[in-house]
Chains A and B, each alone.
Chain A
Amino acid sequence: MPLTTMILKMGEGLGNTCSIFILTLLFSLPLGLLVALLRMSKSKIISGITRFFISILRGTPLMLQLIAVTYGPYYLFGLTVSRNKLIPVVIAFAINYAAYFAEIYRGGIESIPQGQYEAAKVLGYSKFQTFFRIILPQVIKRIMPSVTNEIVTLVKDTSLAFTVSFQEMFTIGKQIANSQTSFMPFLVAGVFYYIMNAVVDFGMGKVENKLDYYK
Protein backbone atom coordinates (compact mmCIF):
# COMPACT_ATOMS: atom_id res chain seq x y z
CA MET A 1 0.00 0.00 0.00
CA PRO A 2 1.46 3.40 -0.92
CA LEU A 3 2.24 5.64 2.05
CA THR A 4 -0.12 8.37 0.80
CA THR A 5 -3.10 5.95 0.72
CA MET A 6 -2.22 4.83 4.24
CA ILE A 7 -2.02 8.40 5.54
CA LEU A 8 -5.26 9.40 3.80
CA LYS A 9 -7.09 6.35 5.11
CA MET A 10 -5.90 6.98 8.67
CA GLY A 11 -6.61 10.69 8.21
CA GLU A 12 -10.29 9.79 7.67
CA GLY A 13 -10.29 8.33 11.17
CA LEU A 14 -8.64 11.45 12.53
CA GLY A 15 -11.96 13.33 12.32
CA ASN A 16 -13.48 10.74 14.67
CA THR A 17 -10.47 10.94 16.96
CA CYS A 18 -10.87 14.73 17.16
CA SER A 19 -14.62 14.40 17.79
CA ILE A 20 -13.98 12.18 20.82
CA PHE A 21 -11.34 14.59 22.05
CA ILE A 22 -13.32 17.83 21.70
CA LEU A 23 -16.67 16.48 22.93
CA THR A 24 -15.06 14.76 25.91
CA LEU A 25 -13.39 17.98 27.00
CA LEU A 26 -16.55 19.99 26.46
CA PHE A 27 -18.61 17.73 28.73
CA SER A 28 -16.05 16.59 31.28
CA LEU A 29 -14.61 19.99 32.24
CA PRO A 30 -17.92 21.42 33.58
CA LEU A 31 -19.08 18.03 34.86
CA GLY A 32 -15.82 17.70 36.77
CA LEU A 33 -16.49 20.99 38.55
CA LEU A 34 -19.94 19.81 39.56
CA VAL A 35 -18.53 16.53 40.85
CA ALA A 36 -15.80 18.41 42.76
CA LEU A 37 -18.43 20.56 44.47
CA LEU A 38 -20.51 17.50 45.39
CA ARG A 39 -17.39 15.79 46.68
CA MET A 40 -16.72 18.77 48.98
CA SER A 41 -20.34 19.00 50.10
CA LYS A 42 -20.87 19.43 53.83
CA SER A 43 -23.38 16.57 53.75
CA LYS A 44 -21.51 13.36 54.60
CA ILE A 45 -23.93 11.31 52.48
CA ILE A 46 -23.47 13.33 49.28
CA SER A 47 -19.71 13.54 49.61
CA GLY A 48 -19.56 9.84 50.49
CA ILE A 49 -21.56 8.78 47.43
CA THR A 50 -19.50 11.04 45.15
CA ARG A 51 -16.32 9.67 46.62
CA PHE A 52 -17.50 6.12 45.92
CA PHE A 53 -18.27 6.94 42.27
CA ILE A 54 -14.92 8.64 41.79
CA SER A 55 -13.16 5.63 43.25
CA ILE A 56 -14.97 3.30 40.81
CA LEU A 57 -14.23 5.50 37.80
CA ARG A 58 -10.60 5.90 38.70
CA GLY A 59 -10.18 2.36 39.94
CA THR A 60 -11.38 0.46 36.86
CA PRO A 61 -9.84 0.56 33.38
CA LEU A 62 -11.36 3.00 30.89
CA MET A 63 -11.48 0.10 28.44
CA LEU A 64 -13.92 -1.75 30.71
CA GLN A 65 -16.02 1.38 31.19
CA LEU A 66 -16.27 1.77 27.42
CA ILE A 67 -17.57 -1.78 27.05
CA ALA A 68 -19.97 -1.28 29.98
CA VAL A 69 -21.44 1.96 28.60
CA THR A 70 -21.72 0.63 25.04
CA TYR A 71 -23.12 -2.84 25.70
CA GLY A 72 -24.50 -2.46 29.24
CA PRO A 73 -27.82 -0.94 28.11
CA TYR A 74 -28.31 -3.78 25.64
CA TYR A 75 -27.66 -6.56 28.14
CA LEU A 76 -29.52 -4.92 31.02
CA PHE A 77 -32.52 -3.41 29.26
CA GLY A 78 -32.48 -4.93 25.76
CA LEU A 79 -31.93 -1.53 24.14
CA THR A 80 -30.31 -1.63 20.72
CA VAL A 81 -26.78 -0.33 20.50
CA SER A 82 -26.58 2.85 18.47
CA ARG A 83 -24.64 2.37 15.25
CA ASN A 84 -23.26 5.83 15.78
CA LYS A 85 -20.65 4.76 18.32
CA LEU A 86 -19.64 8.34 19.02
CA ILE A 87 -22.43 8.69 21.61
CA PRO A 88 -21.50 5.83 24.00
CA VAL A 89 -17.80 6.49 23.48
CA VAL A 90 -18.12 10.16 24.43
CA ILE A 91 -20.35 9.34 27.42
CA ALA A 92 -17.80 6.86 28.77
CA PHE A 93 -14.87 9.20 28.18
CA ALA A 94 -16.64 12.25 29.62
CA ILE A 95 -17.66 10.47 32.83
CA ASN A 96 -14.22 8.98 33.30
CA TYR A 97 -12.40 12.23 32.72
CA ALA A 98 -14.86 14.18 34.88
CA ALA A 99 -13.76 12.01 37.81
CA TYR A 100 -10.12 12.92 37.24
CA PHE A 101 -10.86 16.61 36.64
CA ALA A 102 -13.00 16.69 39.80
CA GLU A 103 -10.04 15.70 41.94
CA ILE A 104 -7.86 18.29 40.21
CA TYR A 105 -10.48 21.01 40.85
CA ARG A 106 -10.80 19.89 44.47
CA GLY A 107 -7.06 20.16 44.96
CA GLY A 108 -7.15 23.65 43.48
CA ILE A 109 -10.15 24.84 45.50
CA GLU A 110 -8.77 23.51 48.79
CA SER A 111 -5.45 25.25 48.17
CA ILE A 112 -7.11 28.69 48.47
CA PRO A 113 -6.60 30.04 52.03
CA GLN A 114 -9.68 30.19 54.25
CA GLY A 115 -8.94 33.84 54.95
CA GLN A 116 -10.08 34.83 51.47
CA TYR A 117 -13.60 33.54 52.16
CA GLU A 118 -13.69 35.52 55.39
CA ALA A 119 -12.40 38.66 53.69
CA ALA A 120 -15.03 38.29 50.94
CA LYS A 121 -17.75 37.89 53.57
CA VAL A 122 -16.62 41.06 55.31
CA LEU A 123 -16.74 42.88 51.99
CA GLY A 124 -20.33 41.74 51.50
CA TYR A 125 -19.85 39.16 48.71
CA SER A 126 -22.45 36.41 48.54
CA LYS A 127 -21.28 32.79 48.59
CA PHE A 128 -21.98 32.48 44.86
CA GLN A 129 -20.06 35.66 44.05
CA THR A 130 -17.17 34.63 46.28
CA PHE A 131 -16.79 31.34 44.47
CA PHE A 132 -17.12 32.49 40.87
CA ARG A 133 -15.49 35.94 41.18
CA ILE A 134 -12.69 35.29 43.65
CA ILE A 135 -11.97 31.60 44.16
CA LEU A 136 -12.50 30.02 40.72
CA PRO A 137 -10.25 32.41 38.73
CA GLN A 138 -7.37 31.63 41.08
CA VAL A 139 -8.15 27.90 40.99
CA ILE A 140 -8.05 27.84 37.19
CA LYS A 141 -4.61 29.41 37.22
CA ARG A 142 -3.26 26.94 39.74
CA ILE A 143 -4.63 23.80 38.10
CA MET A 144 -3.62 24.60 34.52
CA PRO A 145 -0.50 22.36 34.51
CA SER A 146 -2.42 19.34 35.86
CA VAL A 147 -5.28 19.93 33.43
CA THR A 148 -2.84 20.08 30.51
CA ASN A 149 -1.45 16.76 31.70
CA GLU A 150 -4.90 15.18 31.55
CA ILE A 151 -5.68 16.69 28.15
CA VAL A 152 -2.47 15.30 26.68
CA THR A 153 -3.36 11.89 28.10
CA LEU A 154 -6.84 12.19 26.61
CA VAL A 155 -5.40 12.62 23.10
CA LYS A 156 -3.62 9.29 23.46
CA ASP A 157 -6.52 7.58 25.27
CA THR A 158 -8.83 8.12 22.28
CA SER A 159 -7.18 5.03 20.82
CA LEU A 160 -9.08 2.95 23.40
CA ALA A 161 -12.26 3.47 21.38
CA PHE A 162 -11.13 0.55 19.21
CA THR A 163 -12.47 -1.83 21.90
CA VAL A 164 -16.01 -1.03 20.75
CA SER A 165 -14.87 -0.85 17.11
CA PHE A 166 -15.35 2.87 16.72
CA GLN A 167 -13.49 3.69 13.53
CA GLU A 168 -11.02 6.20 14.91
CA MET A 169 -7.51 6.66 13.59
CA PHE A 170 -5.77 3.95 15.60
CA THR A 171 -8.43 1.32 14.86
CA ILE A 172 -7.92 1.88 11.14
CA GLY A 173 -4.15 1.88 11.61
CA LYS A 174 -4.34 -1.48 13.37
CA GLN A 175 -6.48 -2.91 10.56
CA ILE A 176 -4.06 -1.72 7.89
CA ALA A 177 -1.09 -3.03 9.88
CA ASN A 178 -2.53 -6.54 10.01
CA SER A 179 -3.89 -6.44 6.46
CA GLN A 180 -0.57 -5.46 4.99
CA THR A 181 1.64 -7.14 7.63
CA SER A 182 3.49 -3.87 8.11
CA PHE A 183 4.45 -1.82 11.15
CA MET A 184 4.34 1.40 9.14
CA PRO A 185 0.78 2.39 10.25
CA PHE A 186 1.91 2.38 13.87
CA LEU A 187 4.66 4.85 13.00
CA VAL A 188 2.14 7.02 11.13
CA ALA A 189 -0.20 6.86 14.15
CA GLY A 190 2.64 7.92 16.43
CA VAL A 191 3.36 10.96 14.26
CA PHE A 192 -0.35 11.89 14.16
CA TYR A 193 -0.63 11.72 17.97
CA TYR A 194 2.56 13.68 18.43
CA ILE A 195 1.37 16.47 16.12
CA MET A 196 -1.99 16.65 17.90
CA ASN A 197 -0.28 16.89 21.27
CA ALA A 198 2.14 19.51 19.99
CA VAL A 199 -0.89 21.62 19.07
CA VAL A 200 -2.48 21.02 22.49
CA ASP A 201 0.79 21.88 24.21
CA PHE A 202 1.15 25.09 22.23
CA GLY A 203 -2.46 26.13 22.86
CA MET A 204 -2.33 25.41 26.59
CA GLY A 205 0.99 27.26 26.85
CA LYS A 206 -0.66 30.32 25.30
CA VAL A 207 -3.60 30.10 27.70
CA GLU A 208 -1.26 29.79 30.68
CA ASN A 209 0.64 32.88 29.56
CA LYS A 210 -2.58 34.84 29.22
CA LEU A 211 -3.61 33.85 32.75
CA ASP A 212 -0.31 35.01 34.21
CA TYR A 213 -1.56 38.61 34.49
CA TYR A 214 -0.20 39.21 37.98
CA LYS A 215 3.42 38.39 37.14
Chain B
Amino acid sequence: MKKKVLVLFMAFAMILTMGLFTGCGKTETSDEATTFTMGIDAEYPPFSYIGDDGEYTGFDVEICKAACEKLGWNFEVFGVNWDEKLVQLDADECDCVWSGMTILDSMKEAGYVISEPYYDNTQVILVKDGSGIASSADLAGKTVAVQLGTSGEALLQDDLADLAGTFGELVTCDSFLKCFTELDSGAVDAVFVDAPVADSYVAENEGFKIIDEGLGAEQYGIAFRADDQEMCDKIEAAVAELVEDGTYAEIAAKYPDIENNLLFLQK
Protein backbone atom coordinates (compact mmCIF):
# COMPACT_ATOMS: atom_id res chain seq x y z
CA MET B 1 0.00 0.00 0.00
CA LYS B 2 2.73 2.45 0.96
CA LYS B 3 4.59 1.75 -2.26
CA LYS B 4 1.48 2.46 -4.29
CA VAL B 5 0.95 5.74 -2.52
CA LEU B 6 4.56 6.66 -3.20
CA VAL B 7 4.25 5.80 -6.90
CA LEU B 8 1.04 7.80 -7.16
CA PHE B 9 2.64 10.73 -5.42
CA MET B 10 5.67 10.68 -7.69
CA ALA B 11 3.50 10.48 -10.79
CA PHE B 12 1.56 13.47 -9.55
CA ALA B 13 4.74 15.41 -8.81
CA MET B 14 6.00 14.71 -12.33
CA ILE B 15 2.79 15.95 -13.92
CA LEU B 16 3.00 19.05 -11.78
CA THR B 17 6.56 19.91 -12.75
CA MET B 18 5.63 19.47 -16.38
CA GLY B 19 2.72 21.83 -15.86
CA LEU B 20 4.97 24.38 -14.17
CA PHE B 21 7.48 24.30 -16.99
CA THR B 22 4.90 24.85 -19.69
CA GLY B 23 3.45 27.65 -17.60
CA CYS B 24 6.70 29.48 -16.99
CA GLY B 25 8.44 28.94 -20.32
CA LYS B 26 7.04 32.11 -21.81
CA THR B 27 8.47 34.56 -19.30
CA GLU B 28 12.07 33.64 -19.97
CA THR B 29 12.53 35.57 -23.22
CA SER B 30 15.60 37.77 -23.22
CA ASP B 31 14.91 41.49 -23.34
CA GLU B 32 17.72 43.27 -25.16
CA ALA B 33 15.89 45.48 -27.63
CA THR B 34 12.70 47.33 -26.68
CA THR B 35 9.76 45.00 -26.88
CA PHE B 36 6.58 46.65 -28.01
CA THR B 37 3.46 44.77 -27.02
CA MET B 38 0.47 45.63 -29.11
CA GLY B 39 -2.91 45.11 -27.45
CA ILE B 40 -5.53 43.86 -29.87
CA ASP B 41 -9.04 42.50 -29.91
CA ALA B 42 -8.32 39.28 -31.81
CA GLU B 43 -12.02 39.09 -32.67
CA TYR B 44 -12.21 42.19 -34.85
CA PRO B 45 -11.64 41.49 -38.54
CA PRO B 46 -10.37 43.05 -40.74
CA PHE B 47 -8.32 45.15 -38.27
CA SER B 48 -7.10 42.38 -36.03
CA TYR B 49 -7.99 38.72 -36.11
CA ILE B 50 -6.61 35.19 -36.43
CA GLY B 51 -5.78 34.43 -40.05
CA ASP B 52 -6.21 31.18 -41.97
CA ASP B 53 -2.75 30.04 -40.85
CA GLY B 54 -3.68 30.47 -37.18
CA GLU B 55 -1.47 33.53 -36.62
CA TYR B 56 -2.59 37.02 -35.61
CA THR B 57 -3.06 39.27 -38.60
CA GLY B 58 -5.19 42.16 -39.84
CA PHE B 59 -4.61 45.69 -41.06
CA ASP B 60 -3.63 47.14 -37.67
CA VAL B 61 -1.39 44.19 -36.82
CA GLU B 62 0.50 44.42 -40.12
CA ILE B 63 1.00 48.18 -39.80
CA CYS B 64 2.21 47.89 -36.22
CA LYS B 65 4.59 45.09 -37.16
CA ALA B 66 6.03 47.15 -40.01
CA ALA B 67 6.36 50.18 -37.72
CA CYS B 68 8.22 48.11 -35.12
CA GLU B 69 10.60 46.87 -37.83
CA LYS B 70 11.34 50.49 -38.75
CA LEU B 71 12.08 51.28 -35.11
CA GLY B 72 14.09 48.11 -34.53
CA TRP B 73 11.72 47.04 -31.75
CA ASN B 74 10.66 43.51 -30.96
CA PHE B 75 7.03 43.08 -31.83
CA GLU B 76 4.57 41.16 -29.69
CA VAL B 77 0.82 40.78 -29.75
CA PHE B 78 -1.37 40.58 -26.67
CA GLY B 79 -5.03 39.65 -27.02
CA VAL B 80 -6.97 41.91 -24.66
CA ASN B 81 -10.43 41.34 -23.30
CA TRP B 82 -12.15 44.23 -25.07
CA ASP B 83 -14.45 45.08 -22.15
CA GLU B 84 -11.36 45.64 -19.99
CA LYS B 85 -8.87 46.97 -22.54
CA LEU B 86 -7.96 50.17 -20.68
CA VAL B 87 -7.53 48.32 -17.38
CA GLN B 88 -5.15 45.95 -19.13
CA LEU B 89 -3.27 48.85 -20.73
CA ASP B 90 -2.95 50.56 -17.33
CA ALA B 91 -1.78 47.35 -15.75
CA ASP B 92 1.15 47.23 -18.19
CA GLU B 93 0.00 44.09 -19.95
CA CYS B 94 0.36 45.77 -23.31
CA ASP B 95 1.93 49.06 -24.44
CA CYS B 96 -0.96 50.29 -26.55
CA VAL B 97 -4.47 49.41 -27.62
CA TRP B 98 -4.47 49.40 -31.41
CA SER B 99 -7.34 47.46 -32.82
CA GLY B 100 -9.92 49.50 -34.68
CA MET B 101 -10.50 51.44 -31.49
CA THR B 102 -12.93 54.35 -31.55
CA ILE B 103 -11.52 57.51 -30.01
CA LEU B 104 -13.85 58.58 -27.22
CA ASP B 105 -13.73 61.90 -25.38
CA SER B 106 -13.83 59.94 -22.14
CA MET B 107 -10.44 58.38 -22.98
CA LYS B 108 -8.80 61.78 -23.44
CA GLU B 109 -10.43 63.05 -20.25
CA ALA B 110 -9.04 60.05 -18.38
CA GLY B 111 -5.55 61.13 -19.51
CA TYR B 112 -4.69 58.47 -22.09
CA VAL B 113 -2.37 59.54 -24.89
CA ILE B 114 -4.32 59.10 -28.12
CA SER B 115 -2.67 59.08 -31.54
CA GLU B 116 -3.82 61.04 -34.58
CA PRO B 117 -6.97 59.39 -35.96
CA TYR B 118 -6.25 57.09 -38.90
CA TYR B 119 -9.67 55.84 -39.90
CA ASP B 120 -13.17 57.22 -40.44
CA ASN B 121 -15.89 54.93 -39.29
CA THR B 122 -19.66 55.04 -39.29
CA GLN B 123 -22.24 52.78 -37.77
CA VAL B 124 -24.46 50.90 -40.20
CA ILE B 125 -27.54 48.73 -39.89
CA LEU B 126 -27.22 45.19 -41.18
CA VAL B 127 -30.49 43.49 -42.17
CA LYS B 128 -31.57 40.44 -44.13
CA ASP B 129 -32.56 40.84 -47.77
CA GLY B 130 -36.31 41.27 -48.12
CA SER B 131 -36.84 42.25 -44.51
CA GLY B 132 -38.66 45.40 -45.55
CA ILE B 133 -36.35 47.56 -43.47
CA ALA B 134 -34.96 50.40 -45.60
CA SER B 135 -33.99 53.05 -43.07
CA SER B 136 -33.47 53.55 -39.36
CA ALA B 137 -37.07 54.78 -39.12
CA ASP B 138 -38.26 51.29 -40.09
CA LEU B 139 -36.62 49.86 -36.98
CA ALA B 140 -39.50 51.06 -34.80
CA GLY B 141 -40.77 48.14 -32.76
CA LYS B 142 -38.12 45.78 -34.15
CA THR B 143 -35.54 43.77 -32.25
CA VAL B 144 -31.99 45.07 -32.78
CA ALA B 145 -28.68 43.50 -31.70
CA VAL B 146 -25.43 45.28 -30.81
CA GLN B 147 -22.09 44.06 -29.46
CA LEU B 148 -21.22 44.72 -25.83
CA GLY B 149 -18.48 47.29 -25.30
CA THR B 150 -18.51 48.64 -28.87
CA SER B 151 -19.01 52.27 -29.83
CA GLY B 152 -22.34 51.25 -31.37
CA GLU B 153 -23.58 50.24 -27.96
CA ALA B 154 -22.32 53.47 -26.40
CA LEU B 155 -24.00 55.53 -29.13
CA LEU B 156 -27.35 53.84 -28.69
CA GLN B 157 -27.24 54.68 -25.00
CA ASP B 158 -26.14 58.24 -25.53
CA ASP B 159 -26.26 60.23 -28.79
CA LEU B 160 -28.67 57.88 -30.50
CA ALA B 161 -30.78 57.12 -27.43
CA ASP B 162 -33.84 58.58 -29.21
CA LEU B 163 -33.43 56.07 -32.02
CA ALA B 164 -32.85 53.24 -29.56
CA GLY B 165 -36.06 54.27 -27.79
CA THR B 166 -38.09 53.37 -30.88
CA PHE B 167 -36.71 49.81 -31.00
CA GLY B 168 -38.95 47.03 -29.77
CA GLU B 169 -35.99 45.52 -27.98
CA LEU B 170 -32.24 46.07 -27.89
CA VAL B 171 -30.27 42.84 -27.51
CA THR B 172 -26.64 42.95 -26.39
CA CYS B 173 -24.41 40.10 -27.56
CA ASP B 174 -20.83 39.52 -26.46
CA SER B 175 -19.45 39.10 -29.99
CA PHE B 176 -20.22 40.03 -33.59
CA LEU B 177 -20.48 36.38 -34.53
CA LYS B 178 -23.37 35.98 -32.09
CA CYS B 179 -25.07 39.17 -33.35
CA PHE B 180 -24.86 37.92 -36.94
CA THR B 181 -26.03 34.44 -36.03
CA GLU B 182 -29.02 35.90 -34.19
CA LEU B 183 -29.83 37.92 -37.31
CA ASP B 184 -29.40 34.95 -39.62
CA SER B 185 -31.62 32.75 -37.49
CA GLY B 186 -34.33 35.40 -37.28
CA ALA B 187 -33.99 36.02 -33.54
CA VAL B 188 -33.29 39.71 -34.22
CA ASP B 189 -34.35 41.91 -37.14
CA ALA B 190 -31.24 44.05 -37.49
CA VAL B 191 -27.68 44.45 -36.18
CA PHE B 192 -26.17 47.82 -35.33
CA VAL B 193 -22.51 47.47 -36.22
CA ASP B 194 -19.29 49.19 -37.41
CA ALA B 195 -19.22 49.64 -41.20
CA PRO B 196 -16.02 47.62 -41.94
CA VAL B 197 -17.21 44.63 -39.94
CA ALA B 198 -20.54 44.65 -41.80
CA ASP B 199 -18.73 45.07 -45.14
CA SER B 200 -16.50 42.07 -44.64
CA TYR B 201 -19.43 39.97 -43.42
CA VAL B 202 -21.60 40.87 -46.43
CA ALA B 203 -18.68 40.12 -48.75
CA GLU B 204 -18.52 36.56 -47.42
CA ASN B 205 -22.19 35.79 -46.80
CA GLU B 206 -25.17 36.12 -49.10
CA GLY B 207 -28.62 37.40 -48.29
CA PHE B 208 -27.71 40.47 -46.22
CA LYS B 209 -28.03 44.18 -46.87
CA ILE B 210 -26.30 47.21 -45.35
CA ILE B 211 -28.20 50.39 -44.55
CA ASP B 212 -25.71 53.25 -44.29
CA GLU B 213 -27.11 56.54 -43.06
CA GLY B 214 -23.81 57.91 -41.81
CA LEU B 215 -24.93 57.36 -38.23
CA GLY B 216 -22.52 58.07 -35.43
CA ALA B 217 -19.47 59.17 -37.43
CA GLU B 218 -16.34 58.44 -35.42
CA GLN B 219 -12.63 57.93 -35.82
CA TYR B 220 -10.19 55.19 -34.92
CA GLY B 221 -6.93 55.84 -33.10
CA ILE B 222 -4.31 54.20 -30.91
CA ALA B 223 -4.38 54.52 -27.13
CA PHE B 224 -1.22 54.69 -25.00
CA ARG B 225 -0.75 55.08 -21.26
CA ALA B 226 -0.77 58.64 -19.89
CA ASP B 227 3.04 58.82 -19.51
CA ASP B 228 3.87 57.34 -22.91
CA GLN B 229 3.69 60.44 -25.12
CA GLU B 230 7.22 59.68 -26.37
CA MET B 231 6.26 56.16 -27.44
CA CYS B 232 3.21 57.51 -29.24
CA ASP B 233 5.39 60.06 -31.10
CA LYS B 234 7.83 57.35 -32.19
CA ILE B 235 5.07 55.09 -33.48
CA GLU B 236 3.39 57.98 -35.28
CA ALA B 237 6.71 58.93 -36.91
CA ALA B 238 7.29 55.32 -38.00
CA VAL B 239 3.79 55.09 -39.45
CA ALA B 240 4.37 58.39 -41.29
CA GLU B 241 7.49 56.83 -42.84
CA LEU B 242 5.44 53.81 -43.93
CA VAL B 243 2.94 56.14 -45.59
CA GLU B 244 5.84 57.97 -47.25
CA ASP B 245 7.54 54.88 -48.71
CA GLY B 246 4.31 53.28 -49.91
CA THR B 247 4.31 50.31 -47.53
CA TYR B 248 1.15 51.65 -45.92
CA ALA B 249 -0.77 51.73 -49.20
CA GLU B 250 0.57 48.27 -50.05
CA ILE B 251 -0.79 46.79 -46.83
CA ALA B 252 -4.06 48.72 -47.19
CA ALA B 253 -4.58 47.22 -50.65
CA LYS B 254 -4.92 43.83 -48.99
CA TYR B 255 -7.97 45.08 -47.09
CA PRO B 256 -10.35 46.53 -49.70
CA ASP B 257 -13.23 46.79 -47.20
CA ILE B 258 -11.52 49.54 -45.25
CA GLU B 259 -9.12 51.05 -47.79
CA ASN B 260 -11.36 53.97 -48.75
CA ASN B 261 -11.78 55.25 -45.21
CA LEU B 262 -8.10 55.37 -44.26
CA LEU B 263 -7.30 58.99 -43.47
CA PHE B 264 -3.55 58.83 -44.27
CA LEU B 265 -4.30 57.72 -47.83
CA GLN B 266 -6.71 60.57 -48.47
CA LYS B 267 -4.16 63.35 -48.13
Contact = CB atoms under 8 A, between A and B. Distances in A.
Given A9-B54, A15-B22, A22-B19, A167 B91 contact: no
Contacts of B81: 162-165
A129 B15 CA distance: 30
B49 A174 contact: no
A171 B79 contact: yes
Contacts of B88: 81, 165
Interface residues of A, number: 38
A18 interface: yes
Q: Which of A84, A171, A183 gathers the greatest number of chain B CB atoms within 10 Å?
A: A84
Main DSSP-derived SS at the A contact region = helix
A182 B91 CA distance: 32
Contacts of A172: 50
B106 interface: no
Interface residues of B, number: 39
B23 A165 contact: no
Contacts of A149: none
A116 B147 CA distance: 60
A18 B19 contact: yes
Interface string B250-263: 00000000000000
Nearest to A210: B4
A26 B11 CA distance: 13
8 contacts: A23-B20, A84-B26, A164-B81, A165-B88, A178-B44, A178-B45, A179-B51, A181-B204
Contacts of A181: 45, 176-177, 180, 201, 204-205
A180 interface: yes
A16 interface: yes
Given A5-B53, A74-B91, A177 B79 contact: no
A161 B84 CA distance: 14
Contacts of B12: 26
B90 A177 contact: no
Contacts of B181: 183
Interface in B1-56: 12, 15-16, 19-20, 22-24, 26-27, 42-45, 49-54
A178 B16 contact: no
Interface string A70-96: 010010000011011010000000000
Contacts of A187: none
Interface string A22-65: 11001000000000000000000000000000000000000000
